[in-house]
Amino acid sequence: MKNSKNKVIALIVCGIIVGSIGTSFIGNFEANNQQQVDSNVESDSTTESSEISNGKYKNGTYQGTASGYAEDLNVEVKVSNGEISKIDIVSHNETPGFYEKAFELVPSEIIKKQSTNVDAASGATYSSQGIINAVNDALKEAENKEYISENENLNVSDSKYKDGTYQGSASGYAEDLNVEVKVSNGEILKIDIVSHNETPKFFEKALELVPSEIIKKQSTNVDVASGATYSSEGIMKAVDNALKEAENKEYTTTNEDSNASNK
């Protein structure tokens, strides 16, 4: 009887010990799982912040407006993972038979190159420029100031021109041909004719060709428009005068020193 009682006591003690071990094991297992979940959440949060701070643009959807051949060309630009992912033409007053070429080509080229420095659609220059300018207008709101500031500090001596908007004047066929030149990321991004006294039917040829060629080649050493030599040269000279104000002296000095040492 005594031995039987001892066996019962022993079984009870063993049960208590096994239960304690099981409870401890389950507790540790749950704690490890919770720690793993917390770790994953923190990792996801860090990745999202990294994407925002490392991209040129902030994620979101932005609206922009500009004039093409007519006024009020409105676009909506979507930015995902710091890149331009979608461009929609929301509304416009462009001429049918012309705008379709621009609408088909320009948005896809901007997305492909991640830049508004793209060619205009043949036969639809004004509508093309309207889209480009409207997208630029939208992207002003999307700019990641932290990214731009960091890269400006890193590349201050690597660009020929300083970012900003500059004015220039010259004479074409007539006097007072005035332009406004926008420089972004060290490159000529946009050229607007502010005012002029040129003969319309000739000036239109120069306006359609010369600014887009200067932007494409990042140089004013471009061909004149056939039949509009004076107006073409006037635009080039006015842009040159604007770019004198945009010159990055540090870049110029660095490259002059480099060229001198290579002689």
pLDDT tens digits for 123-138? 899 999 999 999 999 9
- State the CATH number of the domain containing residue 72: 3.90.1010.20
Residues 229 and 165 both lie in one domain: yes
Does the pTM exceed 0.75?
Answer: no
Residue 10 in any domain: the answer is: no
| Structural domains counted in the chain | 2
Residues 138 and 163 both lie in one domain: no
Banded model confidence at residue 32, pLDDT cuts 50, 70, 90: very low
- Among 143, 175, 193, residue at a domain's last position: 143
Residue, of 175 and 24, whose pLDDT is higher: 175
Residues 175 and 243 both lie in one domain: yes
Banded model confidence at residue 41, pLDDT cuts 50, 70, 90: very low
Residue 215 in any domain: the answer is: yes
Average pLDDT over residues 21-41: 44
Residue 150 in any domain: the answer is: no
Residue 3 in any domain: the answer is: no
Residue 72 in any domain: the answer is: yes
Residue, of 119 and 263, whose pLDDT is higher: 119
Average pLDDT over residues 13-23: 55
Rank 152-161, 231-240, 250-259 by mean pLDDT and report only the highest: 231-240
DSSP secondary structure letters along the chain: -HHHHHHHHHHHHHHHHHHHHHHHHHHHHHHHHHHHHHHHHHHHHHHHHHHHHHSSB-SEEEEEEE-SSSS-EEEEEEEETTEEEEEEEEE--PPTTTHHHHHHHHHHHHHHHTSS--PPPTT-HHHHHHHHHHHHHHHHHHB-HHHHHHHHHHSTTT-SB-SEEEEEEE-SSSS-EEEEEEEETTEEEEEEEEE----HHHHHHHHHHHHHHHHHHTSS--PPPTT-HHHHHHHHHHHHHHHHHHB-HHHHHHHHHHHHHT-
Express each pLDDT in 182-234 by its tens digit.
998 888 999 999 999 999 989 999 999 999 999 988 999 999 999 999 999 99
Structural domain including 115 reads 60-143
Residue 66 in any domain: the answer is: yes
Residues 108 and 192 both lie in one domain: no
Residues 164 and 242 both lie in one domain: yes
- Among 143, 173, 208, residue at a domain's last position: 143
Residue 4 in any domain: the answer is: no
